[in-house]
Protein backbone atom coordinates (compact mmCIF):
# COMPACT_ATOMS: atom_id res chain seq x y z
CA UNK A 1 0.00 0.00 0.00
CA UNK A 2 1.17 3.56 -0.73
CA UNK A 3 3.13 4.58 2.38
CA UNK A 4 2.68 8.28 1.72
CA UNK A 5 -1.09 7.84 1.46
CA UNK A 6 -1.30 5.90 4.72
CA UNK A 7 0.72 8.59 6.48
CA UNK A 8 -1.62 11.26 5.14
CA UNK A 9 -4.64 9.31 6.43
CA UNK A 10 -3.04 9.04 9.87
CA UNK A 11 -2.38 12.80 10.06
CA UNK A 12 -5.92 13.64 8.95
CA UNK A 13 -7.44 11.31 11.52
CA UNK A 14 -5.41 12.85 14.33
CA UNK A 15 -6.06 16.46 13.30
CA UNK A 16 -9.80 15.96 12.73
CA UNK A 17 -10.27 13.59 15.70
CA UNK A 18 -12.47 11.34 13.58
CA UNK A 19 -12.06 8.56 11.03
CA UNK A 20 -15.29 9.65 9.37
CA UNK A 21 -14.26 13.30 8.98
CA UNK A 22 -10.80 12.28 7.75
CA UNK A 23 -12.36 9.96 5.16
CA UNK A 24 -14.62 12.78 3.89
CA UNK A 25 -11.67 15.16 3.63
CA UNK A 26 -9.66 12.63 1.66
CA UNK A 27 -12.54 11.41 -0.49
CA UNK A 28 -12.08 7.85 0.76
CA UNK A 29 -14.24 5.36 2.66
CA UNK A 30 -14.04 5.25 6.44
CA UNK A 31 -13.04 1.59 6.23
CA UNK A 32 -10.10 2.37 3.95
CA UNK A 33 -8.82 5.16 6.21
CA UNK A 34 -9.07 2.82 9.21
CA UNK A 35 -7.15 0.22 7.26
CA UNK A 36 -4.44 2.79 6.43
CA UNK A 37 -3.86 3.48 10.12
CA UNK A 38 -3.88 -0.22 10.99
CA UNK A 39 -1.34 -0.93 8.22
CA UNK A 40 0.93 1.78 9.62
CA UNK A 41 0.76 0.31 13.10
CA UNK A 42 1.46 -3.16 11.77
CA UNK A 43 4.45 -2.01 9.72
CA UNK A 44 5.91 0.02 12.59
CA UNK A 45 5.13 -2.62 15.21
CA UNK A 46 3.64 -0.08 17.64
CA UNK A 47 0.23 1.32 18.49
CA UNK A 48 -0.21 4.90 17.28
CA UNK A 49 -3.75 5.58 18.48
CA UNK A 50 -5.83 4.49 21.45
CA UNK A 51 -9.36 4.16 20.08
CA UNK A 52 -12.61 4.25 21.97
CA UNK A 53 -16.20 4.82 20.93
CA UNK A 54 -15.96 8.44 22.04
CA UNK A 55 -12.36 9.54 21.47
CA UNK A 56 -9.02 9.00 19.80
CA UNK A 57 -5.82 9.56 21.75
CA UNK A 58 -2.25 9.50 20.53
CA UNK A 59 0.23 7.17 22.18
CA UNK A 60 3.74 8.44 22.85
CA UNK A 61 4.88 6.61 19.72
CA UNK A 62 1.96 8.09 17.80
CA UNK A 63 2.87 11.63 18.88
CA UNK A 64 6.46 11.12 17.75
CA UNK A 65 5.33 9.65 14.43
CA UNK A 66 2.88 12.53 13.90
CA UNK A 67 5.70 15.05 14.26
CA UNK A 68 7.73 13.06 11.75
CA UNK A 69 4.88 12.92 9.22
CA UNK A 70 4.09 16.62 9.45
CA UNK A 71 7.74 17.59 9.04
CA UNK A 72 7.98 15.30 6.01
CA UNK A 73 4.90 16.85 4.43
CA UNK A 74 6.27 20.34 5.05
CA UNK A 75 9.59 19.39 3.43
CA UNK A 76 7.81 17.93 0.40
CA UNK A 77 5.63 21.03 0.00
CA UNK A 78 8.63 23.34 0.36
CA UNK A 79 10.61 21.39 -2.24
CA UNK A 80 7.70 21.35 -4.68
CA UNK A 81 7.27 25.12 -4.28
CA UNK A 82 10.97 25.58 -4.97
CA UNK A 83 10.73 23.48 -8.14
CA UNK A 84 7.68 25.40 -9.35
CA UNK A 85 9.47 28.65 -8.55
CA UNK A 86 12.28 27.76 -10.99
CA UNK A 87 9.61 27.70 -13.72
CA UNK A 88 8.04 31.01 -12.74
CA UNK A 89 10.91 33.08 -11.31
CA UNK A 90 14.55 33.63 -12.18
CA UNK A 91 16.12 32.01 -9.12
CA UNK A 92 19.03 29.68 -8.43
CA UNK A 93 22.09 29.48 -10.69
CA UNK A 94 22.20 29.96 -14.44
CA UNK A 95 25.24 28.16 -15.83
CA UNK A 96 26.21 28.88 -19.42
CA UNK A 97 29.11 28.60 -21.82
CA UNK A 98 30.17 30.86 -24.69
CA UNK A 99 33.11 31.33 -27.10
CA UNK A 100 36.08 33.05 -25.49
CA UNK A 101 36.38 35.91 -27.95
CA UNK A 102 32.72 36.90 -27.97
CA UNK A 103 32.34 36.27 -24.26
CA UNK A 104 35.32 38.41 -23.29
CA UNK A 105 34.57 41.27 -25.68
CA UNK A 106 30.80 41.68 -25.44
CA UNK A 107 28.98 39.02 -23.44
CA UNK A 108 30.64 39.90 -20.13
CA UNK A 109 29.06 43.38 -20.26
CA UNK A 110 25.64 41.85 -20.91
CA UNK A 111 26.08 39.42 -18.01
CA UNK A 112 26.93 42.25 -15.62
CA UNK A 113 23.85 44.19 -16.71
CA UNK A 114 21.67 41.08 -16.41
CA UNK A 115 22.95 40.32 -12.91
CA UNK A 116 22.10 43.84 -11.77
CA UNK A 117 18.43 43.44 -12.72
CA UNK A 118 18.11 39.81 -11.56
CA UNK A 119 19.63 39.82 -8.04
CA UNK A 120 18.04 36.48 -7.08
CA UNK A 121 19.81 34.67 -9.91
CA UNK A 122 23.47 33.68 -9.79
CA UNK A 123 25.22 33.46 -13.16
CA UNK A 124 28.14 31.16 -13.89
CA UNK A 125 29.81 31.94 -17.24
CA UNK A 126 32.33 29.53 -18.77
CA UNK A 127 34.34 30.85 -21.72
CA UNK A 128 35.94 28.15 -23.84
CA UNK A 129 36.71 27.41 -27.48
CA UNK A 130 35.80 23.74 -27.65
CA UNK A 131 33.65 21.68 -29.96
CA UNK A 132 30.13 21.24 -28.68
CA UNK A 133 29.28 17.83 -27.29
CA UNK A 134 25.74 16.85 -26.37
CA UNK A 135 26.89 15.28 -23.11
CA UNK A 136 28.30 18.60 -21.87
CA UNK A 137 24.96 19.82 -20.55
CA UNK A 138 24.68 16.96 -18.05
CA UNK A 139 28.43 16.61 -17.40
CA UNK A 140 28.94 20.29 -16.61
CA UNK A 141 25.47 21.11 -15.33
CA UNK A 142 24.88 23.64 -18.12
CA UNK A 143 21.58 25.41 -18.59
CA UNK A 144 22.43 27.17 -21.84
CA UNK A 145 25.19 27.48 -24.44
CA UNK A 146 25.78 30.45 -26.72
CA UNK A 147 27.00 29.30 -30.11
CA UNK A 148 27.69 30.61 -33.59
CA UNK A 149 27.34 27.08 -34.94
CA UNK A 150 24.17 25.02 -35.18
CA UNK A 151 24.25 21.83 -33.12
CA UNK A 152 21.70 20.17 -35.42
CA UNK A 153 20.11 17.99 -32.78
CA UNK A 154 16.39 17.63 -32.15
CA UNK A 155 16.98 17.28 -28.41
CA UNK A 156 18.01 20.94 -28.24
CA UNK A 157 16.32 24.25 -28.96
CA UNK A 158 18.27 26.81 -30.98
CA UNK A 159 17.06 30.36 -30.50
CA UNK A 160 18.52 33.23 -32.53
CA UNK A 161 19.76 36.03 -30.28
CA UNK A 162 21.44 38.43 -32.72
CA UNK A 163 22.93 38.40 -36.26
CA UNK A 164 26.73 38.42 -36.32
CA UNK A 165 28.48 39.90 -39.36
CA UNK A 166 31.64 38.32 -40.72
CA UNK A 167 34.33 40.17 -42.60
CA UNK A 168 37.27 39.23 -44.81
CA UNK A 169 40.29 41.26 -43.76
CA UNK A 170 44.08 41.40 -43.79
CA UNK A 171 46.96 43.57 -42.62
CA UNK A 172 48.01 46.34 -45.07
CA UNK A 173 51.57 44.98 -45.27
CA UNK A 174 50.31 41.53 -46.32
CA UNK A 175 48.19 43.06 -49.09
CA UNK A 176 51.14 45.22 -50.21
CA UNK A 177 53.32 42.14 -50.35
CA UNK A 178 50.92 39.61 -51.92
CA UNK A 179 48.41 41.84 -53.69
CA UNK A 180 44.83 42.76 -52.94
CA UNK A 181 42.26 40.32 -54.39
CA UNK A 182 39.51 41.84 -56.52
CA UNK A 183 37.28 38.74 -56.70
CA UNK A 184 36.63 35.76 -54.38
CA UNK A 185 38.22 33.31 -56.83
CA UNK A 186 41.63 34.93 -56.23
CA UNK A 187 41.54 33.81 -52.58
CA UNK A 188 42.30 30.25 -53.71
CA UNK A 189 45.90 31.25 -54.47
CA UNK A 190 46.45 33.31 -51.31
CA UNK A 191 47.19 32.37 -47.70
CA UNK A 192 43.89 32.31 -45.82
CA UNK A 193 43.36 32.06 -42.08
CA UNK A 194 40.57 29.57 -41.42
CA UNK A 195 38.10 29.65 -38.52
CA UNK A 196 37.51 25.96 -37.79
CA UNK A 197 34.57 24.32 -36.00
CA UNK A 198 32.15 26.98 -37.23
CA UNK A 199 30.65 25.22 -40.24
CA UNK A 200 30.91 21.62 -41.47
CA UNK A 201 32.96 22.90 -44.45
CA UNK A 202 35.26 25.46 -42.79
CA UNK A 203 37.52 25.76 -45.82
CA UNK A 204 34.65 26.83 -48.09
CA UNK A 205 34.09 30.59 -47.99
CA UNK A 206 30.78 31.76 -49.44
CA UNK A 207 30.07 35.19 -50.88
CA UNK A 208 27.17 37.18 -52.29
CA UNK A 209 28.20 39.70 -54.92
CA UNK A 210 27.58 41.33 -58.30
CA UNK A 211 27.72 37.97 -60.08
CA UNK A 212 25.58 36.09 -57.59
CA UNK A 213 26.62 33.55 -54.98
CA UNK A 214 30.15 32.16 -55.08
CA UNK A 215 31.88 29.45 -53.05
CA UNK A 216 35.67 29.33 -52.87
CA UNK A 217 37.84 26.64 -51.27
CA UNK A 218 40.70 28.28 -49.39
CA UNK A 219 43.91 27.04 -47.82
CA UNK A 220 46.48 28.51 -45.49
CA UNK A 221 49.16 27.83 -42.96
CA UNK A 222 47.13 28.84 -39.90
CA UNK A 223 43.77 27.65 -38.58
CA UNK A 224 42.07 28.16 -35.22
CA UNK A 225 38.71 27.86 -33.47
CA UNK A 226 39.41 31.22 -31.78
CA UNK A 227 38.57 34.47 -33.52
CA UNK A 228 41.10 36.27 -31.33
CA UNK A 229 43.88 33.92 -32.41
CA UNK A 230 42.97 34.49 -36.06
CA UNK A 231 42.94 38.25 -35.43
CA UNK A 232 46.49 38.12 -34.10
CA UNK A 233 47.61 36.03 -37.07
CA UNK A 234 46.07 38.56 -39.47
CA UNK A 235 47.72 41.47 -37.63
CA UNK A 236 51.05 39.64 -37.94
CA UNK A 237 50.61 39.48 -41.71
CA UNK A 238 50.15 35.72 -41.99
CA UNK A 239 47.25 35.96 -44.41
CA UNK A 240 43.64 36.89 -45.06
CA UNK A 241 41.11 36.06 -42.35
CA UNK A 242 37.35 35.53 -42.36
CA UNK A 243 36.30 36.39 -38.81
CA UNK A 244 33.36 37.87 -36.91
CA UNK A 245 33.38 41.63 -37.37
CA UNK A 246 33.10 42.21 -33.62
CA UNK A 247 36.54 40.64 -33.12
CA UNK A 248 38.29 43.13 -35.45
CA UNK A 249 36.04 46.22 -35.27
CA UNK A 250 38.70 48.24 -33.46
CA UNK A 251 41.43 47.15 -35.90
CA UNK A 252 39.32 48.06 -38.93
CA UNK A 253 38.60 51.48 -37.43
CA UNK A 254 42.29 52.15 -36.74
CA UNK A 255 43.54 50.78 -40.08
CA UNK A 256 45.57 47.98 -38.50
CA UNK A 257 43.42 45.64 -40.61
CA UNK A 258 41.73 46.38 -43.93
CA UNK A 259 38.49 44.91 -45.26
CA UNK A 260 39.05 42.83 -48.39
CA UNK A 261 36.51 42.36 -51.20
CA UNK A 262 34.15 45.13 -50.00
CA UNK A 263 31.81 44.59 -52.96
CA UNK A 264 31.11 41.06 -51.77
CA UNK A 265 29.14 40.12 -48.69
CA UNK A 266 29.58 37.11 -46.48
CA UNK A 267 26.41 35.57 -45.06
CA UNK A 268 25.72 36.68 -41.46
CA UNK A 269 25.67 33.89 -38.91
CA UNK A 270 23.36 34.19 -35.90
CA UNK A 271 24.42 34.06 -32.30
CA UNK A 272 22.39 31.12 -31.01
CA UNK A 273 21.15 30.30 -27.53
CA UNK A 274 21.10 26.51 -27.26
CA UNK A 275 19.35 24.69 -24.44
CA UNK A 276 17.74 21.26 -23.88
CA UNK A 277 14.26 20.76 -25.29
CA UNK A 278 11.91 20.26 -22.34
CA UNK A 279 8.12 20.48 -21.85
CA UNK A 280 8.59 23.84 -20.10
CA UNK A 281 11.63 26.09 -20.51
CA UNK A 282 13.06 27.08 -17.10
CA UNK A 283 12.20 30.68 -16.38
CA UNK A 284 15.84 31.61 -15.76
CA UNK A 285 16.70 30.45 -19.29
CA UNK A 286 13.69 32.21 -20.84
CA UNK A 287 14.39 35.50 -19.05
CA UNK A 288 18.09 35.41 -19.93
CA UNK A 289 17.50 34.70 -23.63
CA UNK A 290 14.94 37.51 -23.84
CA UNK A 291 17.32 39.87 -22.04
CA UNK A 292 20.14 39.11 -24.50
CA UNK A 293 17.88 39.79 -27.48
CA UNK A 294 16.99 43.21 -26.10
CA UNK A 295 20.58 43.94 -25.08
CA UNK A 296 22.11 43.19 -28.47
CA UNK A 297 19.26 44.85 -30.39
CA UNK A 298 20.17 48.12 -28.64
CA UNK A 299 23.90 47.82 -29.46
CA UNK A 300 25.69 47.33 -32.75
CA UNK A 301 28.17 44.77 -31.49
CA UNK A 302 29.31 44.05 -35.04
CA UNK A 303 30.86 47.51 -35.41
CA UNK A 304 31.16 48.75 -31.85
CA UNK A 305 34.75 48.90 -30.68
CA UNK A 306 35.49 46.68 -27.72
CA UNK A 307 38.53 46.25 -25.54
CA UNK A 308 40.45 43.34 -27.00
CA UNK A 309 42.29 41.18 -24.44
- What is the distance between the alpha carbons of residues 223 and 171, in angstroms, rounded to a whole number? 17
**Which residues does 47 contact at the CB level (< 8 Å), separation at least 6?**
41, 59, 61, 62
pLDDT of residue 87: 56
pLDDT of residue 174: 95
- What sign results for the dihedral spanned by CA atoms 70, 71, 77, 81? positive
pLDDT of residue 308: 43
Would 92-162+271-297 and 166-267 be classified into the same CATH topology?
A: yes
pLDDT of residue 177: 94
- What is the distance between the alpha carbons of residues 175 and 221, in angstroms, rounded to a whole number? 16
Fold of 92-162+271-297: D-Maltodextrin-Binding Protein; domain 2 (3.40.190)
pLDDT of residue 159: 93
CB-neighbour burial class of residue 135 (10 A; exposed 0-12, middle 13-18, buried 19+) = exposed
Are 93 and 123 a contacting pair, CB within 8 Å? yes
pLDDT of residue 200: 64
Closest-CA residue to 269 (of 222, 216, 200): 200
Per-residue pLDDT of the chain (309 residues; tens, 9 = 90+): 588 889 899 989 888 889 999 899 889 999 998 999 999 899 899 999 988 777 888 999 989 999 998 898 888 887 777 666 555 556 688 998 888 777 777 788 888 888 888 888 888 888 876 556 667 777 788 899 998 877 778 888 999 998 888 999 999 999 999 999 999 999 999 999 988 876 667 788 888 887 778 888 998 889 988 888 999 999 999 999 999 888 898 899 999 999 999 888 887 788 899 998 888 888 889 999 999 999 888 877 776 554 444
pLDDT of residue 82: 65
pLDDT of residue 254: 94
- What is the distance between the alpha carbons of residues 108 and 128, in angstroms, rounded to a whole number? 13
Fold of 166-267: D-Maltodextrin-Binding Protein; domain 2 (3.40.190)
In the chain, what are the domain boundaries?
Answer: 3-83, 92-162+271-297, 166-267
Fold of 3-83: Arc Repressor Mutant, subunit A (1.10.10)
DSSP annotation of 45: T
DSSP annotation of 58: E
Query: DSSP secondary structure string, 63-131?
Result: HHHHHHHHHHHHHHHHHHHHHHHHHHS--EEEEEEE-HHHIIIIIHHHHHHHHHH-TTEEEEEEE----
How many CB atoms lie under 10 A from the CB of residue 218? 21
pLDDT of residue 304: 59
Amino acid sequence: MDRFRTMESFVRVVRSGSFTIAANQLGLSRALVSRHVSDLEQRLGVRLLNRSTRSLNLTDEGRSYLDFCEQLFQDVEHKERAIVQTRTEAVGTLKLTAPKSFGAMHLADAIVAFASVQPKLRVSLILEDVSFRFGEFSEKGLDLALRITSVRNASFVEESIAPLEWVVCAAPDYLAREGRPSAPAELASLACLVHVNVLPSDHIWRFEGPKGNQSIKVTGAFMSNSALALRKAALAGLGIALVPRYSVAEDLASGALVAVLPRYKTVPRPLLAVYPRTPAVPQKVRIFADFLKTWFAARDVNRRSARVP
